[in-house]
Structure 1
Amino acid sequence: MQQVVNVQEPVITPRRFKVYQHRQLDKIEALNKVPADMRFEMKVVANVLPFRVNEYVFNELIDWENVPNDPLFQLTFPQKDMLEPSAFQRMADLMSGKHTTNEVFDLATQLRDEMNPHPAGQMQMNVPHVDGEPLPGMQHKYRETVLFFPAQGQYCHSYCTFCFRWAQFVGKATRFNSNDADQLHRYLAQHKEVTDLLVTGGDPMVMRTRKLQHYLENLLKPEFEHLKTIRIGTKSLTFWPYRFITDPDADDLLRLLEKLVSAGKHVSIMAHLNHPNELRTEVCQEAVRRLRNTGVQIRCQAPLLRHINDDPDDWATMWQKQVSLGMIPYYMFVERDTGAKRYFEVPLEQTWEIFRKAYQQVSGIARTVRGPSMSAGPGKVEVQGVTEIAGEKVFALRFIQGRNPDWVQRPFFAKYDPNATWLNDLKPAFGEQKFFFEDEYAQMSAMD
């Protein structure tokens, strides 16, 4: 008879959450290793783009001997070239001389408006309406899926420098958020075509469990039988894994997730993981173990980013590590056309080559991952490759998801462009004047 071996759970010491924002940059002792001119550059950028980092991230995840090249440093600390040169210089000149807080704020607001703060028509096209009135804090872009932005979850344990929702966190910009659970529930009850709810932000895991429970527990009622899947987008597994272990209401959170699963809902934690180094700590691995014990699935996604993960070996290693921990590789995204994209974007051809070389290194069990995918206005467009057809070099593309479900899985082709980084850079191949979806998408845009 085989002996059962009891694996002892690691003892995780509780940790106090301590966070630093742009006004506390000088209080981060580790930055004393960084030259003074670089620290000033970081302050300039942090006055335009959001900055927030906690002690766990910079003490446990960053290799300070490898700064500024360390990928987790690049992921969380601002760099000069994240701003256009002229934009950087304008803010640097202002901050170098006599200035007021209001002057810095006004210039930052102007610079942010030049950085496409709300891409893919999300302010105009994605907001659902009831009786002609928009519902704040919700988006309904695809037939099956509703996004909800709880007001209490519109920040993160740390901010990613590449964030495509950066405008949620700065100034007085228009933001998506709602604390109206009744409105969410009424909309979902009325829309039987919706099978998936994605609770997103920011990061919903910054919320106390009782707040999350307020939004989710009612979804177990019979009128929500059509809602099959609850997704929660979060970076907390690697930016604050204590949320699932030693935070005061960590056990309550796990019980809530277990209750949802036991009642028949599919619950997916949509984990944002950008580099294999994020997964190396014992506390992160214990958080993954505890989450999986509730019956939830953990699906992993990230954009491909210059300076952070533009290496196929890093992706292959990350996917393999995810699988070994019981997580599911899900998406490789193309960096969106917003914010600091100029610093992070990689040409589509190179992005596809990195994906392909990483994909070749893993077994079928990790090939659940899809991509590279652009979350563009018309939908999620996958770059399937670069090929030659009838003597013309082209990009092969398809919709993974579309505003019109009929677009999904329809292949289409674009002229080869080695410099293209986004769907808007591409032109139809074979002498066509428009992509097959353009007229219908234009009509959708005009309606909104």
Structure 2
Amino acid sequence: MTLLVNTPFAESADMSAPTTHRFRAYTTKHLDELVARTGLGPEARLAIRAVATVLPFRTNTYVVDELIDWSAAPNDPIYRLVFPQEDMLPESDVARIADLLRREVPSHEIQRAAHEVRMKLNPHPAGQMELNVPDEMEGIQHKYRETVLFFPKQGQTCHSYCTYCFRWAQFVGEPNLKFASDDVENLRNYLLAHPDVTSVLITGGDPMIMSEPVLKRYIEPLLELPQLESIRIGSKALAYWPQRFVTDPDADDTLRLFERVVGAGKNLAFMAHFSHPREMAPRLLSEAVRRIHSTGAIIRTQAPLIRSINDNPGDWSDMWRQQHAMGMIPYYMFVERDTGPQDHFAVPLGRAYEIFRDAYASVSGLCRTVRGPSMSAVPGKVCVEGVTEINGERLFVLRLIQARDASLVGRPFFAHYDSEAKWLSDLKPALADKFPFE
């Protein structure tokens, strides 16, 4: 593979302002000023500040200036994707913290109240802490035989936080809720001790928040391991800051690093998160995708199904078509996890299946690489394959498409249909005394 100045991505990008300016983050200190653009009154804005005391808020100039339709806010889907809403938490909890903010009590009292609310929100779903590898391997998750997840310490933030994020606990400043590591040698030794592992997923946060020299320090040692067939990078940077691959000072160096991964014989899978079709529209996004593809990397796309943001078949079929047209591969539709503001954002499983089915039926076969709706639950990734009727009773048809117990992968099983069920734990087994993983 030809590297450096002869590569297509080395061409200078002709991208006009404002999308080429340097990154600027907006945090909670900017929240009230930004939310005021919606026309919401002081009490509503105070309630939003109360939610942002419990759950993380961070966005940036690209999202605010290029993606949000402020004329439609606060109902604009991209606004709802990144800005807190007062009904994301129970009314009593919001009122309690809003009162503390109104009275300007000391910060430690507010944080104590926020901590109490967080502990009711299942901060680590699917056994993320309990089922981690031992403490001496901090920052490593090994849920499935072939795949290890690694959380680099410098990647524990994002260009912008999603309001639905199931990893919200990583971003709220409570050390006991975080898991991450900067010990690359420890990761390497763990992989050598587990030769069945063929894929490493570098995740976070967002690994693409790291500069190229830092990212290189984590990736290059992995290229020496013959057992690894693929390296994955989980990121929403394409949607929230495509400049990372086009006009940022180290954009070219980052793409050269991607080339080295591919040149070492590894499949580099960029796992891109797109939550709404509008994220696909900017011209800068198309250029970023082209430049990543020029390195030999493959881009796969995924996102959860979120009420009030993308809970209709048209949004998903539009996304899959645009992604396919750009050469990306639709990969997963997830079910909103049982953590954080799930009650606010989750779509019932029956409706989720209908949305997936209708979107899936309206695209060509080349877009039907996508799987879903899938729950990343304790036993594995449980896919809702359909709704059927047996002996006069409606049932969910389910299948583990990934499992901690590899012998269960691909085996269908059934659950009684429940129109209100939003997660695996809401379901009861049908045609058997228990689920196959119990």
TM-score, normalised by the number of residues in structure 2:
0.94
The structure-2 alpha-carbon separation of the partners of 1:84 and 1:420, relative to structure 1 and needing over 3 Å to count, comes to: same
Gaps of 5+ in 2: 1-7
Q: Quote the offset at 1:393 in angstroms.
A: 1.2
User: Deviation at 1:141?
Assistant: 0.5
- Structure 1 residue 98 displacement after superposition: 4.0
Contact 2:38 2:70 in 1 (8 A): no
Query: Match of 1:284, as an amino acid?
Result: L
> Which deviates more from structure 2 when the two are superposed, residues 329-338 or residues 206-215?
206-215
Equivalent-residue separation in structure 1 for 2:252 and 2:429 (angstroms): 53
Amino acid aligned to 2:187:
L
Q: Could you say which residue in structure 1 is the equivalent of 2:351?
A: 350
Q: 2: CA distance between counterparts of 1:226 and 1:202?
A: 26
Deviation at 1:34, TM superposition (A): 3.7
Q: Distance in 2 between matches of 1:67 and 1:121?
A: 36
CA contact (8 A) 2:13 2:246 kept: no
Aligned to 1:269: 270
Partner of 2:133: 128
- The CA deviation at 1:9 is 7.6
Q: 1:244 offset after TM fit, Å?
A: 0.5
Q: Identify the residue that residue 288 of structure 1 maps to in structure 2.
A: 289
Q: Distance in 1 between matches of 2:363 and 2:43?
A: 42
Structure 2 letter corresponding to 1:199: I
1:156 matched to which residue of 2?
Answer: 158
Q: Would the aligned equivalents of 2:35 and 2:45 in 1 still touch at CA under 8 Å?
A: no
1:65 is paired with a residue whose SS is: coil
Corresponding residue for residue 333 of structure 1: 334
Please tell me whether the aligned partners of residues 154 and 202 of structure 1 are also in contact (alpha carbons under 8 angstroms): yes
Asked if residue 185 in structure 1 is aligned to residue 188 in structure 2, the reply is yes
Query: How is 1:292-307 mapped onto 2 (pairs within 5 angstroms)?
Result: 292-307=293-308
Q: How does 1:331-410 map to 2 (within 5 A)?
A: 331-410=332-411
Is 1:168 the equivalent of 2:170?
yes
User: CA–CA distance in 2 between the matches of 1:279 and 1:329?
Assistant: 13
Shift of 1:117: 0.2
CA 98–243 in structure 1, closer or farther in 2 if over 3 Å, else same: closer
What amino acid sits opposite 1:176 in the alignment?
Answer: F
1:82 corresponds to which letter in structure 2?
A: M
Alpha-carbon distance in structure 1 between the residues aligned to 2:297 and 2:42: 46
| Distance (Å, rounded) in 2 between the aligned partners of 1:423 and 1:28 | 37
Give the direction of change, closer, same or farther, for the CA distance of 1:32–1:402 in structure 2 (3 Å limit). closer
8 Å Cα contact 1:105/1:171 also seen in 2: no
Q: 2:149 matched to which residue of 1?
A: 147
1:27 deviation in Å?
A: 4.1
Cα shift readout 1:241-260 (whole Å, capped 9, x = no counterpart): 11101111111000000111
Q: Unpaired segments of 5 or more residues in structure 1?
A: 1-5, 439-448
Cα distance per residue 1:138-174 (max 9 Å; x no partner): 1000000000000000000110000000000003232
The equivalent residue for 1:3 is none
TM-score (norm 1): 0.92
Asked if 2 retains the 8 angstrom alpha-carbon contact of 1:42 and 1:80, the reply is: yes
Report the AA paired with residue 435 of structure 2.
F
Equivalent-residue separation in structure 2 for 1:385 and 1:374 (angstroms): 14
Counterpart for residue 446 of structure 1:
none
Deviation sequence 1:198-245 (CA, Å, 0-9, x none): 000000000011111111112222xx1110000000000010111101
Q: Separation in 2 of the partners of 1:183 and 1:265?
A: 21
2:136 and 2:214 map into 1 onto residues whose CA distance is 23
SS of residue paired to 1:47: helix
Identity rate, percent = 55
Corresponding residue of 1:443? none
Amino acid in structure 2 at the alignment position of 1:151: K
In 1, the alpha carbon distance for the partners of 2:378 and 2:312 equals 28
Partners of 1:290 and 1:185 lie apart in 2 by: 29
Q: Name the residue aligned to 1:442.
A: none
SS at match of 2:127: coil
1:441 is matched with which residue? none
Shift of 1:30: 6.6
Q: Among residues 72, 96, 118, which one is paired with 1:90 in the alignment? A: 96
Q: Deviations over 1:257-285 (max 9, x none)?
A: 01110121000000010001001001111
Q: What SS does the aligned partner of 1:39 have?
A: helix
C-alpha distance in 1, partners of 2:54/2:133? 30
C-alpha separation in 1, matches of 2:380 and 2:177:
23
Corresponding residue for residue 444 of structure 1: none
Tell me the CA shift for residue 97 of structure 1. Answer: 2.2
Report the AA paired with residue 166 of structure 2: F
CA shift in 2, pair 1:354/1:423, >3 Å? same
For 1:437, the equivalent position in structure 2 comes to 437
Cα distance between partner residues in 2 of 1:144 and 1:26: 46
CA displacement at 1:32 relative to structure 2? 6.1
Q: Secondary structure of the residue that 2:196 maps to in structure 1? A: coil
Distance in structure 1 (CA, Å) of the matches to 2:404 and 2:297: 28
Instruction: Tell me which moved more, 10-19 or 200-209.
Output: 10-19
Q: Distance in 1 between matches of 2:244 and 2:36?
A: 24
**Matched residue, 1:245:** 246
Please give the alpha-carbon distance, in whole angstroms, between the structure 1 residues aligned to 2:268 and 2:148.
Answer: 15
| Structure 2 partner of 1:278 | 279
Secondary structure class of the residue paired with 1:339: coil
Tell me how large the CA RMSD over aligned residues is.
1.5
- Of 187-196 and 161-170, the range deviating more from structure 2: 187-196
Partner-residue secondary structure (3-state), 1:417: coil
> Residue deviations 1:264-321, cap 9 Å, x none?
1000000010001001001111111110111100000000000100010010000000
- Report if aligned partners of 2:184, 2:221 keep a CA contact under 8 Å in 1: no
